[in-house]
């Protein structure tokens, strides 16, 4: 799906009207988001993790 079509469909789904003077810049930002997402999705997952991460609990520290 092209970003132009995605923009049209996504905006229509949430009832958002994008003024024509901002449309080109919105498309530029979507292209940037797509490039950043591609970098993250291309990164292989960590080798193996068998233990859960620690949980942050705000409060008094002793």
Please state, in angstroms and rounded to a whole number, the distance separating the CA atoms of residues 5 and 1: 7
- 13-38 confidence digits (pLDDT tens): 999 999 999 999 999 999 999 999 99
What the block records as the tokens of 55 is 């949980």
Distance between first and last Cα of the chain: 54
Residue appearing with tokens 């449309």:
23
* pLDDT tens per residue across span 38-50: 998 887 777 676 7
pTM for this prediction: 0.65
């Amino acid at each position: 799906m092209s970003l132009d079509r995605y923009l049209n469909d996504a905006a229509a789904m949430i009832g958002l009207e994008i003024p024509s003077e901002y449309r080109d810049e919105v498309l530029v930002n979507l292209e940037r988001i797509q490039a950043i997402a591609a970098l993250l999705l291309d990164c292989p997952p960590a080798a193996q993790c068998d233990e859960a991460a620690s949980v942050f609990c705000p409060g008094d520290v002793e």
